[in-house]
Amino acid sequence: MTHQTTNTGGGRAAPSFPPNWLKKTVSLAFTVAITLLGLLFVTFMIGRVMPIDPVLAVIGERASQAQYDQVYLELGLDKPLIVQFGIYVGDVLQGDFGTSIRTGKPVAEDIARVFPATLELATLGTLLGVVLGVPLGVLAAVYRGSWIDQISRLIGLVGYSMPIFWLGMMGLLIFYGILGWVAGPGRLGVFYEGLVPTRTGLLLVDAIIAGDWDVFKDALSHIILPACLLGYFSLAYISRMTRSFMLEQLNSEYVITARVKGLSEWHVVWRHAFRNIAIQLITVIALAYANLLEGSVLTEIIFAWPGIGSYITTSLLSNDMASVLGGTVVIGSIFVCLNILSDLLYRFFDPRAKS
Amino acid sequence: MTPQSNASAKPGLKAWLLSDTPQSRGQARAAAWYQGWLRLTSNKLTSLGLIVLTLLVLAALFAPMLATDNPFAQDLGARLKPPGWEGHYFGTDSLGRDIYSRLLYGARISIYIVLLVALVAPLLGLIIGTTAGYFGGWVDTVLMRVTDIFLAFPRLILALAFVAALGAGIENAVLAISLTAWPPYARIARAETLTIRNSDFIHAIRLQGAGPVRIITRHIWPLCISSLVIRVTLDMAGIILTAAGLGFLGLGAQPPSPEWGAMISEGRKYILDYWWVATIPGLAIFAISLAFNLIGDGLRDVLDPKESGK
């Protein structure tokens, strides 16, 4: 697991002046800050080793030497690397990722525009993964070795071996091209574009707020295939983890005690064993969600979904480095935050982790 | 090593390998390997994975002999022909090239990428992890913090950013995947190092005057290898999928190279009318990563019985 292990320092037993929770909070904040700073440093260095001249990218090939020198100074390229890095961090902290060469707008503005589309897709995908994956994992553990366990194993195996972009294309070919059950690539049909006002940026939610059910139906028929695709990959992961957590619980002594007491199987599984894995599951779901944000890159390309993944790759192909790095920083930060959040939830809810 | 002659090898060799009282160290070691192999192949799915992998390696090795056409030869008159058309087993692509022959040559590229990454990434992780574990203190803190930072990055996105900086191409794709794949290996190598760095044999070597470089490379590395090998096998499928993803995005192998991900990307335009162009290379990728996953699971069951008990 890519678990964030936070080092709380050798916790002394005696109650000292800075209380324990304060020390933990400070140390956690320090960890987050260092990790995010490291993330920025990596993207900064990537931006520096790039073989494209950042000045030429702004002014174009035919500018005069005087213009070149002016922009060179404006971008701060004459300063030492460490100072440039400081300026970069300061800019990012203020939400300034530079200007996209491709769209001519600030990168932050671009990302704010495309991000809701990715969020909508990843959320729906995770939801599908949880709703189907958790029960499947539990059943596979309870009926270990039965056909349902075999199915869950098969789903996992295929999920870990299938190129996501290829499965997406096959889905389009079958469900759109041959059967015609769902709408094709894109987020909305041409006829429905601009009908509902943008409030949240999540089309399904916006359509509900506006009460426009035609738009809702069209948006749903566009999102359902990519969401199922992402949902499948998170289902593979979530059910596999649920199964292994559940098996661990079902083999423990308190479950035997509960059975000896004569509790029903349903009671033993759901009220005793399942409640003990709920916290571990939160961690897994947070990770699955983070993975989907990343997995959406290839999926968005296939389905022409105007999210952050499409944004990064289109920018990449037109050498628009500011956008690529901005997108990388945003996804990376969310990734880090979700990791830490799941870690926090785990400590907060599980009394065993507090000792 | 073996006293038997080759002619009577079959029953004799087996008995020699399964003997309860090995006569030499070499025999004991060979017996251990053989029994591991028997357990590995007793699992039907793992055997299937091994067969598929062997076929792939053979296809890559003998590609020039097995191919029916030149994989780069274009024939615009025979564009987008369906499978089975005039001796083209899997049909032709948008430039009239034979898909079957391209698949065979593509297997070479896949193996090349996987082998390179499987060499570079664990080596990087091994160096960083053992250094951190052996020296401890601030070296450990700094190196592990760096590892955590790389772990915190979404892998595909980081690989994308690296390739963007380095330029598209197979070697750069290998480098980018390796740069994103090493952190787990570093963690494993560090954990192994921590368990052995205070053992008596390390102290003894140090008393004999061995320096840290010698201790790490000659005495700690060999003990880390086996746990790294399992992990690498389990990661092979992921490496193939990432490489194919980069190829699909046009950031890996460049045309006209018959890389499978790039072939899918070419076929994408024609997916609704000429399904085979994109479908067949995808099936090839699926078969190979499935084979690696099956082998990895089987290997873990043999080498790490604790995990398989679950």
pLDDT digits (tens, 9 = 90+) for B95-111: 878 888 899 998 999 88
* Confidence grade of residue A292 (pLDDT, cut at 50, 70, 90): confident
Q: In the prediction, which pLDDT does A124 show?
A: 93
**Per the structure block, which two tokens stand in for A135?**
């029960």
pLDDT tens per residue across span A37-73: 888 888 888 877 666 676 776 677 777 788 878 877 7
Q: Please indicate whether, in this complex, the C-beta atoms of A294 and B148 are within 8 angstroms of each other.
A: no
3-state helix, strand, coil in chain B (%, to 5): 75, 0, 25
Instruction: Please give the sequence-ordered ranges of beta strands (E in DSSP) within chain A, or none if there are none.
Output: none
Q: Where are the alpha helices (DSSP H) in A162-252?
A: 164-171, 203-210, 213-250
Which residues in chain B have their CB less than 8 angstroms from residue A50's CB?
A: 164-165
Q: Please indicate whether, in this complex, the C-beta atoms of B156 and A51 are within 8 angstroms of each other.
A: no
Q: Which of A344-348, B87-91, B281-285, B294-298 has the highest mean pLDDT?
A: B281-285
**Per the structure block, which two tokens stand in for A51?**
């073989």
pLDDT at B4 over 50: no
Residue A221 to residue B274: CA distance in whole angstroms: 25
Instruction: Compare CB distances from B285 to A166, A244, A327 and report the shortest one's residue.
Output: A166
Q: In the prediction, which pLDDT does B283 show?
A: 92
- Give me chain A's average pLDDT, please: 83
Q: In the prediction, which pLDDT does A126 show?
A: 93
pLDDT tens per residue across span B202-251: 999 999 999 889 999 998 998 888 888 888 888 888 899 988 988 888 88
Q: Please indicate whether, in this complex, the C-beta atoms of B271 and A173 are within 8 angstroms of each other.
A: yes
pLDDT tens per residue across span B250-296: 888 888 888 898 888 888 888 888 888 889 999 999 999 999 999 88
Q: Chain A closest CA to B261's CA: distance in Å?
A: 9
pLDDT above 70: percentage of residues in chain A: 91
CA B114, B117, B122 angle in degrees (round to 5)?
Answer: 130
Q: Please indicate whether, in this complex, the C-beta atoms of A49 and B241 are within 8 angstroms of each other.
A: no
Q: In the prediction, which pLDDT does A51 show?
A: 63
> Which one of B56, B156, B157 would you mutate to disrupt binding with A, by most A Cβ within 10 Å of its Cβ?
B157
DSSP state of B81: P
* Confidence grade of residue A232 (pLDDT, cut at 50, 70, 90): very high
Q: Please indicate whether, in this complex, the C-beta atoms of B271 and A162 are within 8 angstroms of each other.
A: no
Which residues in chain A have their CB less than 8 angstroms from residue B155's CB?
A: 294
Q: Please indicate whether, in this complex, the C-beta atoms of B161 and A328 are within 8 angstroms of each other.
A: yes
Q: Chain A closest CA to B165's CA: distance in Å?
A: 4
Contact between A162 and B286 under an 8 Å Cβ cutoff? The reply is: yes
User: What are the C-alpha distances in Å from A100 to residues A70, A294, A298, A321, B166?
Assistant: 19, 21, 22, 8, 20
pLDDT tens per residue across span A241-276: 999 899 888 888 888 888 888 888 888 888 888 888
